[in-house]
């Protein structure tokens, strides 16, 4: 008997180079999920259009992220990896779903409110109906699970609401997705303000470590990382957030607990801790940097891989799209 695996959907915006927070908090989990789920992984480039950026920057970011996902271990033989705009069904599905999404539901979405405040000069309609495109992304692949951070739960909830509305009217068209929120822990904080989450949009580059940072850049940023005046290496997020953040990064690189990391450095100083974190991070990131560089060195081959991924994704997405069209009464 053939047992069908449950399917998961994950997407990442090409809005810049991801940080180590993105790697440990999401990308590494995506790689591990391939053992359990039939994974669908997508560079959601159409979502990135809600913010103005140069075409050259966007194109470069798309290629980089696609290469990065392959470099960290997303295996196209075990999963589906593609670029969102290469599968027209996403835009088509978004329009169909928007006709079954209520205006009031969009008004309640917190992300629209937050981004409108950050970009008051560009409050566009795409930003407002962004969750409908996310719903299309998920529902096109009959995803059972969507790995997200706790702050994204609202988007999976609105996806379920839309799917349930369509199913109630036309029968079982869609699979209802569930949010897959990883256990609390492992969150990487800003190197300069360890009370805040590490963020690639931070105006201070020294606050975060990007996945393409060289060993020298990593070392420089960690040397300037905020600790405290106490001098003892101890894992205590409340009273020693900076030191605890460094111990957390080291433990994630080495696959040990924070308490085990604390034991290693309890007799040393902050300098030794920062040096060790530098070595551990570079050992983790160097292979990824090298693989990304190889992919980007041969753009025709990279674009061919994107086409293969899009063809694989389209084969499934088009089936679901046709199913919805037939349910609504649209002719083939």
Judgement on whether residues 304 and 218 belong to the same structural domain of the protein: no
| Active-site annotation holds for 197 | yes
Q: Is the dihedral of CA 224, 227, 230, 231 positive or negative?
A: negative
Catalytic annotation present for 115: yes
The reply to whether 1 falls in a domain is no
Which pLDDT tens digits describe the chain residue by residue (332 residues)?
445 689 999 999 999 899 999 999 999 999 999 999 999 999 999 999 998 899 999 999 999 999 999 999 999 999 999 999 999 999 999 999 999 999 999 988 887 877 777 778 888 888 899 999 999 999 999 999 999 877 788 889 999 999 999 999 999 999 999 998 876 556 899 999 999 999 988 899 899 999 999 999 999 999 999 999 888 999 999 999 999 999 999 999 999 999 999 999 988 899 999 999 999 999 999 999 999 999 999 999 999 999 999 999 999 999 999 999 999 999 98
Q: 115, 221, 240, 274: which is the annotated catalytic residue?
A: 115
Considering the domain architecture, whether residues 236 and 136 belong to the same structural domain is answered as no
**CATH number of the domain where residue 128 is located:** 3.40.50.620
Residues 219 and 246 in one domain: yes
- Clarify whether residues 150 and 209 are in a common domain: no
Question: Same structural domain for residues 56 and 167?
Answer: yes
| Domain ranges, residue 179 | 7-185+298-328
Residue 196 domain-assigned?
Answer: no
Instruction: Please pick, among 187, 200, 312, 323, the residue that the annotation labels catalytic.
Output: 200
How many domains does the chain divide into?
2
Q: Tell me, yes or no, whether 306 lies in a domain.
A: yes
Residues 211 and 165 in one domain: no
Catalytic pick among 117, 153, 197, 312: 197
Do the beta carbons of residue 8 and residue 144 sit within 8 Å? yes
Same domain, 21 and 105: yes
Provide CB contacts within 8 A for 317, sequence distance 6+.
87, 89, 90, 93, 140, 141
Same domain, 319 and 210: no
Do residue 281 and residue 302 come from a single domain? no
282 and 307 together in one domain: no
């Amino acid at each position: 008997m053939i047992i069908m695996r449950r399917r998961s959907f994950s997407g990442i915006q090409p809005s810049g180079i991801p940080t180590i927070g993105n790697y440990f908090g999401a990308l590494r989990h995506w790689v591990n999920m391939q053992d359990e789920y039939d994974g669908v992984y997508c560079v959601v480039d159409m979502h990135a259009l809600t913010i103005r950026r140069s075409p050259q920057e966007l194109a470069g970011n798309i290629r980089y992220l696609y290469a990065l996902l392959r470099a960290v271990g997303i295996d196209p033989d075990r999963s589906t990896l593609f670029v969102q705009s290469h599968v027209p069904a996403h835009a088509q599905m978004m329009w169909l779903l928007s006709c079954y999404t209520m205006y009031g539901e969009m008004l309640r979405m917190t992300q629209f409110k937050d981004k409108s405040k950050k970009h008051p000069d560009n409050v566009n309609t795409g930003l407002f109906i962004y969750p409908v495109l996310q719903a299309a992304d998920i529902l096109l692949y009959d995803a059972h699970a969507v790995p997200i951070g706790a702050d994204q739960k609202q988007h999976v909830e609105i996806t379920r609401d839309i799917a349930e509305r369509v199913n109630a009217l036309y029968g079982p068209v869609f699979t209802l997705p569930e949010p897959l929120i990883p256990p609390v822990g492992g969150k990487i904080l800003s190197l300069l303000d360890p009370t805040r989450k590490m963020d690639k949009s931070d105006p201070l580059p020294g606050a975060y470590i990007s996945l393409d940072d060289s060993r020298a850049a990593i070392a420089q940023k960690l040397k300037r990382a905020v600790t405290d005046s106490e001098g003892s290496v101890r894992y205590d997020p409340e009273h020693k957030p900076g030191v605890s953040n460094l111990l957390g990064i080291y433990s994630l690189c080495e696959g040990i607990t924070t308490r085990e990391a604390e034991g290693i450095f309890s007799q040393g100083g902050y300098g030794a801790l920062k040096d060790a974190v530098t070595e551990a991070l570079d050992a983790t990131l160097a292979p990824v940097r090298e693989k990304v560089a190889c992919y980007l060195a041969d753009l025709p081959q990279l674009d061919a891989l994107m086409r293969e991924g899009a063809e694989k994704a389209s084969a499934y997405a088009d089936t679901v799209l046709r199913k919805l069209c037939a349910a609504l009464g649209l002719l083939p």
